[in-house]
Structure 1
């Protein structure tokens, strides 16, 4: 029973020498209150409903304009025994399990492997669903970044980081920053609510950690009146998400390869600069070092910086994935852009083991279509046939000359 009052001890939330009475000197509307965070819960449900409407009615026509089409997928033949094994035991049977399934179903090893491959393909999300998710995030990040920049660009702490801590914690809160916080917090709550319904990616665990850290950061920084530095963190993160989601949107369409590659390179540059250079050198340095010029360390100071460091570790993890993708992109260009087919069996098995190639990159595919592979195989076959006919004709003419 005494735990709840202990949570709100002023030495946890405020620097030494400051009390809750000092905060009460601010006007009621200018003072951040922890109970304000409850507003984010209904707003999160509103975002879920708005996203459903967007993906149902607005994303499909936009996708058709960009040439987004669902690939034709051959369905696996009905087989109750294999279906039961697939749903209850494993989507990828081992060699010993395949042998037992052969005797159980009366099928060859090749037939069973083909059935499981087709069955896994059926569970893959379609292109329109992927496009809808990317489009929803793109429009939110775009609106959030523009709105955040508009309400921060003329503020002194946007240009001078020491202004983030001057007169802290008795800093009045503006209504624009209040709504900026509530909308960002509601959006991340909605992502967490739908994370088990959305497309599951390779970095699923990292995404859950990222959403939780963001929610904790926003909630704590609002309650402790870390609003000035919090708004800079949100603006910095939204800046790189815009080209990422737009690149994914174009990657799902047809005929946008150069645009997709350009946007991805732009995203990689912005991400690496903002997350690996600006964030640690400006944001973390501000909270760790510059803040000490204005107050002494307290529990909230350590907690907030630990969350920022966890976020930075995630940035490093995603930077590795991005650099690996950039290397693949450059390698593809050096090889005349002849990339492997994403529907090939090898790629399919790799994706089933780990989900998508990368995370915060979603289902970013840099592969050619299946038609390209088929056309090359057809051309190779025609070449072989022509060579065979030529050899037969040459040998026949030799025999005619010998007979004469």
Structure 2
């Protein structure tokens, strides 16, 4: 099996420039560490360690922090227990078609309107709370902030951080420092953990784009490490972490309804994202991999594959930049900052949904209960008016003798 893998997967034409063999890039212990594919095996146990750490962090730190910052969850109406509808909801579809609504209505003896209202309430029960969304954002914020600080401190004194031609000088025989090795391993482990948890995390409108982004990022990190594109790879990860830090802290404060601070952070995030993803990334990183690298070696399979992954990321950047510019337009010309354009698919409650009140003991909705509630509110309002009038008269009578 190992011989088969070495024969087909680790062919030199895939991983090394023309004219270079595996023997040419072997290093002695005193020369440094050369990245090897087996190093990436550690990312799998670390990904599960990240998941466990996230579970502890969200419950011991994120949830208390959300309460401290004033994050409030919406009180949602629970749908009554109707076994046939519940079975259809879990086994077939969360949004039945018109013909399915008619069929379910005949089976349960309910009108179409009540069937549709039941499904709206049931979907609403499964929507993530603000506390859950805050916890996810705070976990990502802590990692991105730590990764950005660690990555910047390890790269700021490196020559390729300032001169991108240094990314290719001496390639592919370039030793990897321990700090950059751990930077790679931890980043790849984190994105693996995100991909493993994507089915239980808050599902957003750009769910498919997020999955593509995670897969492309994992392939990009893994391939760039095996092909020793570590110098360029560290720059790519640092650029992404810089804007993600601002994005996640902005989400946290959005769920805490810190409106003014969110508006400031939104402007900062838009500027950082547009500059790093639409200017620096294509103008410096993609340019150095496509153009400058050819000054040091001839193109090979790894050259094309690595650049293809970078272009996939750039296409996603353009998609998200369009979303951000829409929000900028609304903010500048309408003076409002709406919720996250990538928010969960059904984060907003329908206006009609709050009008339908489920009855506690049966599957029908009682209008008498809502009418009784309205009448009780009217009675209390009338009583308050009477009490206010009596209080005002007493105050006037009490002041009359003093005035005389």
Whether the TM-score (by the shorter chain) exceeds 0.5 is: yes
Range moving further from structure 2, 105-114 or 198-207 = 105-114
1:30 to 29, 33, 52: 33
> Which residue in 2 is equivalent to 1:146?
149
> Which residue in 2 is equivalent to 1:84?
87
Range moving further from structure 2, 273-282 or 323-332 = 323-332
> Which residue in 1 is equivalent to 2:362?
none
> Which residue in 2 is equivalent to 1:259?
261
Range moving further from structure 2, 323-332 or 36-45 = 323-332
CA RMSD of aligned residues (A): 2.4
Alignment TM-score, normalising by the size of structure 2: 0.81
Q: Give the unaligned 5+ runs of structure 2.
A: 352-373, 379-404
User: How many residues were matched structurally?
Assistant: 349
> Which residue in 1 is equivalent to 2:165?
162
CA deviations 1:247-286 (Å, max 9, x no partner) are: 11011113x0111122122111111111111111100000
d(CA) in 2 for partners of 1:147, 1:164: 20
d(CA) in 2 for partners of 1:251, 1:118: 25
> Which residue in 2 is equivalent to 1:389?
none
| Stretches (4+) displaced over 4 A | 361-367
Q: Which SS does the other structure have where 1:30 is aligned? A: coil
Asked if the contact 1:251/1:364 (under 8 Å) is kept, the reply is no
Shift of 1:102: 2.9
d(CA) in 2 for partners of 1:243, 1:147: 16
Q: Give the unaligned 5+ runs of structure 1.
A: 343-356, 370-377, 383-404
Q: Which has the higher contact order (CA 8 A, sep 6+)?
A: 2
Is 1:316–2:296 an aligned residue pair? no
d(CA) in 2 for partners of 1:278, 1:306: 18
Asked if the contact 2:205/2:345 (under 8 Å) is kept, the reply is no
Q: Which SS does the other structure have where 1:282 is aligned? A: helix
Alignment TM-score, normalising by the size of structure 1: 0.81
Asked if the contact 1:177/1:231 (under 8 Å) is kept, the reply is yes
C-alpha distance 364-182 of structure 1, shift in aligned 2 (>3 A): farther
Is 1:294–2:296 an aligned residue pair? yes
Range moving further from structure 2, 197-206 or 157-166 = 197-206
Asked if the contact 2:148/2:241 (under 8 Å) is kept, the reply is yes
d(CA) in 2 for partners of 1:289, 1:122: 53
Shift of 1:365: 8.0
d(CA) in 1 for partners of 2:129, 2:119: 18
CA deviations 1:337-386 (Å, max 9, x no partner) are: 8x7xx9xxxxxxxxxxxxxx643x6689899x9xxxxxxxx9xxx9xxxx
> Which residue in 1 is equivalent to 2:307?
305
Asked if the contact 1:248/1:364 (under 8 Å) is kept, the reply is no
1:268 to 265, 270, 288: 270
> Which residue in 1 is equivalent to 2:240?
237
Asked if the contact 2:73/2:130 (under 8 Å) is kept, the reply is yes
Asked if the contact 1:358/1:364 (under 8 Å) is kept, the reply is no
Range moving further from structure 2, 61-70 or 95-104 = 95-104
d(CA) in 2 for partners of 1:364, 1:124: 7
> Which residue in 2 is equivalent to 1:216?
219
> Which residue in 2 is equivalent to 1:125?
128
C-alpha distance 83-107 of structure 1, shift in aligned 2 (>3 A): same
1:184 to 184, 187, 204: 187
Map residues 185-204 of structure 1 onto 2, 5 A cutoff.
185-204=188-207
